[in-house]
Structure 1
Amino acid sequence: MTAEQRTPEGQPAPAGYAGLFRLDGRRVAVVGGGSGIGRESARALAAHGAEVLVADRDDEGAAETARLASLEAPAPGASTGRVSTHRLDVLDGDAVREAVRGWGELDGLVVTVGANVRKRISDYTASDFDKVLALNLRAYLTLVQAVAPGMAERGRGSVVGLSSMRAFQVEAGQSVYAASKAGLVQLLRTAAAEWGPSGVRFNAVAPGVVRTPLTDQIADDPQWYDAYARASALQRWAGAGEIAGAVTYLVSDASTYVTGSVLTVDGGWTAVDGRYDPSV
């Protein structure tokens, strides 16, 4: 949407609503786009016209994402954005900074990388702690530091990080994972405060239970799978594609006044507190 299509307050003019979610001409990097929520986000962004850079350390996974994204059918009269793949280890700070320099101008950054070690606190090791924090928090810090200054110079940009409902509601065995996801929310909120005056937005998406490679450990257990399904208001798991809409919204002009926020996409789990509904 062009500046001419906006009122002085930044609100879309009536003629601009038809393209509110379109991303034509935008360049968006999806880090962790080789599988799961990252893959589906890349597909959705491309379907809305964005040029998508799929970054992952899994070359085959990234290539499959690019293949699937190229098959997306755009809206009538629109086009699907170009997709490219880029090998990236987010734990290598120098590699991240070099990659970002090579990518050039970005309008959006979506980060979906994550790890979990499910253990009781008494059983957690320093190595376990470092593994989870490195991927769930330090990698996000490195990427924000690399991308945000360039966005600020251009006066625009949207960064979306994948948090979790565990940032707000926990269970035994989720201590460090939950802490890292809560920390990510506060990191993005602080970034929103620091770069907001320059026109750069930062938001988090907090999914509930989603079928991805990260959740295979519990989803493969029928009893556990069923218990988690029944804990939300919708009483089912989400597919990774059901998170892609939230990501697309936060990257698009539909959310130009949204920053420092958390969009919870959990099927109502946190609304009903994950509890059984008694017959009273």
Structure 2
Amino acid sequence: MDYATMFDLTGRKALVVGGAGGIGRAAVGGLAAHGAEVVVADVQADAAKAVADEVTVSGGSAQAYELNVLDPQAISQAVADLDPVDILVLTAAVNVRKRMLDYTSEDFDKVIGLNLKSSFAMISAFGRGMAERGSGSIIAFTSIRSITVEPGQSAYAATKAGLLQVVRTAAAELGPQGVRVNAVAPGVVETPLTQPILDNKEWADAYAAKSALGRWSKPDELAGAVVYLASDAASYVTGTQILVDGGWTAIDGRYDPPA
């Protein structure tokens, strides 16, 4: 191991799904800064291009790619267009905050479809080529909700727990072919997905107080975990979940949100 270059991603191609979003955008920036050629994939083509242009202006290498991961044909086309991919990062997610008795089947399908089904499909689609080439790193974003819950989080928590088990299974199945599969579990992050909570001061303050650090995280505080798992520094790390939660799951506390 060359310790001076163990985080160097030069010559590797990274595909970041949801790359125009808060956490995805930070992942793109971190990977590009360490030398990766990054594909910013997002259903919002203009937003993906804006992120790719930012990276290019900063001296990195990035391109935008419009991708709807809910469309199986679009995933197949992405493999044809983009493979070989060395690093796959999955950040796209949605949440419908409702008590279970208020949930509709449409709500449930929406959350399961994007958070779990599409992630399963992407891991399968791009993991195949990685296995054939004998190398690769897949990084899926789960959540603290994969292990701890609260009212209003039933479907979301189920998808994140399910995704963690998909990650572990993929690590077991693809490990012999040299492919590593891991998860990053954020705590509370300031993104558009969590804006309704941030808009409620009592709720936002309670979440801040719940972590050991006493605050929310910024999206760029997740980038280090992505770079680590993508790099040779994590060459013996697979099938695990890295918690980037400010100590949320290390301490006890309770708050009943208005959801």
What is the TM-score of this pair, normalised by structure 2? Answer: 0.96
Residue in structure 2 matched with residue 5 of structure 1 by the alignment: none
Residue in structure 2 matched with residue 97 of structure 1 by the alignment: 76
1:196-211 matches, cutoff 5 A = 196-211=175-190
Q: Verify: 1:64 aligned to 2:43, yes or no.
A: no
Residue in structure 2 matched with residue 7 of structure 1 by the alignment: none
- Structure whose alpha-carbon radius of gyration is higher: 1
Contact persistence 1:111–1:160 (CA under 8 A): yes
Partner SS, residue 119 of structure 1: coil
Could you list the per-position Cα deviations for residues 220-261 of structure 1 after superposition, in whole angstroms to 9, with x for gaps in the alignment? Answer: 111111111111000000000000110111011110100000
CA distance in 2, matches of 1:251, 1:204: 11
Partner SS, residue 238 of structure 1: coil
Question: Larger deviation: 266-275 or 27-36?
Answer: 266-275
- Structure 2's unaligned 5+ residue stretches are none
Contact persistence 1:233–1:269 (CA under 8 A): yes
Could you list the per-position Cα deviations for residues 78-114 of structure 1 after superposition, in whole angstroms to 9, with x for gaps in the alignment? Answer: xx54100000000001111111111021110001000
Q: Verify: 1:143 aligned to 2:143, yes or no.
A: no
CA distance in 1, matches of 2:207, 2:47: 27
CA distance in 2, matches of 1:65, 1:252: 22
CA distance in 1, matches of 2:164, 2:22: 20
> How many residue pairs get matched?
255
Match of 1:88 among 53, 56, 67: 67
Residue in structure 2 matched with residue 115 of structure 1 by the alignment: 94
Contact persistence 1:159–1:203 (CA under 8 A): yes
Contact persistence 2:198–2:204 (CA under 8 A): yes
Match of 1:158 among 109, 130, 137: 137
- Deviation at 1:123? 0.7
- Deviation at 1:68? 2.4
Contact persistence 2:139–2:184 (CA under 8 A): yes
CA distance in 2, matches of 1:210, 1:159: 22
Could you list the per-position Cα deviations for residues 47-85 of structure 1 after superposition, in whole angstroms to 9, with x for gaps in the alignment? Answer: 00000000001112112211222344xxxxxxx541000
Q: Verify: 1:251 aligned to 2:230, yes or no.
A: yes
Residue in structure 2 matched with residue 167 of structure 1 by the alignment: 146
Contact persistence 1:165–1:266 (CA under 8 A): yes
Partner SS, residue 25 of structure 1: coil
- Deviation at 1:36? 0.6
Q: Verify: 1:241 aligned to 2:227, yes or no.
A: no
Residue in structure 2 matched with residue 31 of structure 1 by the alignment: 17
Residue in structure 2 matched with residue 40 of structure 1 by the alignment: 26
- Deviation at 1:275? 5.1
Contact persistence 1:35–1:65 (CA under 8 A): no
Contact persistence 2:79–2:126 (CA under 8 A): yes
> Sequence identity, in percent?
55
CA distance in 2, matches of 1:61, 1:245: 23
Partner SS, residue 203 of structure 1: strand
Q: Which runs of 4+ in 1 moved over 4 A?
A: none
Could you list the per-position Cα deviations for residues 185-239 of structure 1 after superposition, in whole angstroms to 9, with x for gaps in the alignment? Answer: 0001000000100000100000000001111111111111111111100000000
Q: Verify: 1:221 aligned to 2:200, yes or no.
A: yes
Contact persistence 1:29–1:52 (CA under 8 A): yes
- Deviation at 1:145? 1.3
Structure with greater contact order relative to length (CA < 8 Å, sep ≥ 6)? 2
Contact persistence 1:207–1:266 (CA under 8 A): yes
Q: For 1:239, give the aligned amino acid.
A: K
- Structure 1's unaligned 5+ residue stretches are 1-11, 73-79
Contact persistence 1:24–1:81 (CA under 8 A): no
Q: For 1:27, give the aligned amino acid.
A: K
